[in-house]
Amino acid sequence: MVATLTLVVLGIDTLWSSRLGLVGVLGLQPVTAGRFYGQGNVGYGILLGSVLVLMAATLTWLTRRGAALAVALLGGGALVLGAAPQAGADFGSVPATAVVTGLVLLAALGVRWTPRSLLLVAGGAAVLAALAMVLDWLRGPERRTHLGAFVQAVLDGQAWGIVTRKLEQSVGILVSYPLSWLAVLALVGLAVLLVHRPAWSLPLWTHAGVAPVAAAAVVGMTVAWVLNDSGIAAVALCLAVLLPAGAVVLALSPEVAGGGATPHEPGPAADDRAAAPGR
């Protein structure tokens, strides 16, 4: 319910010029520059976290077909919201959202993550990102957002300068704001938890949607971090949604007499979904 409400509120706000995220407690504080329209990294991080929580719920509770449809709708909606010039106009969100959606969709369909399937997901994400930029570029110089402006920069031979500037800003955040390393540590911790799965975390993995969504989240947050100048903010806010959700699942999971978790009754084909990350 919380994830759904968050997704709806942020979606409406993005369509209405993202006023909630401008000069807000968790939003932009533009002094010399900043995003004055569309979807910023803070808003995207919260939205991505909400989408991931809902995807985990659909994989756990719905049938294979229903879960696949729900994941496609959630991911597709987030993609349109992030890429549309009239809404998010956020290039960095497109590849990350596409990768997350592709990975979770494979899990929903019971398709194991293999090098070939992962390559297809990565290629599809790259194509979608390129398509979003080119379509925006075709709108003309006066109507382009920074998505189309980057295409023009490529044509003018100035794209490398934009890439290096974004990388410098991303690294600069880690240097200037040491607390941002907490997000890095939390992201690494989530990856370690996913791989090793200590005994105290066992109740999490009894829910069929948790493992594939957690794996997709690690990959998606990494992509968002790399492709955005302040991508670590998206990582931090996404984790701020995911980690409490995981804590709630742990807190509400009953234990059997032997100290283990009572297995959650999964939906049809849940075993295939849980196995999707290729453990």
Single-letter code of the amino acid located at 192: V
Which range is least confidently modeled, 105-109, 229-233, 243-247? 229-233
pLDDT tens per residue, range 21-46 = 665 655 555 554 445 566 778 888 98
Give me the pLDDT at residue 92, please: 80
Q: How far apart are CA 220 and CA 224, in angstroms?
A: 6
pLDDT at 17 over 70: no
What would the 3-class secondary structure string for 75-102 be?
HHHHHHHHHCCCCCCCCCHHHHHHHHHH
Give me the pLDDT at residue 258, please: 41
Q: How far apart are CA 44 and CA 234, in angstroms?
A: 6
Strand partners, 261: 255
Give me the pLDDT at residue 269, please: 46
Tell me what the pLDDT averaged over the chain comes to. 82
pTM of the full predicted structure? 0.81
For range 178-194, the mean pLDDT = 94
For range 203-219, the mean pLDDT = 94
Which range is least confidently modeled, 178-182, 210-214, 243-247, 272-276? 272-276
Give me the pLDDT at residue 12, please: 66
What are φ and ψ of residue 261, in 5° steps?
-85, 145
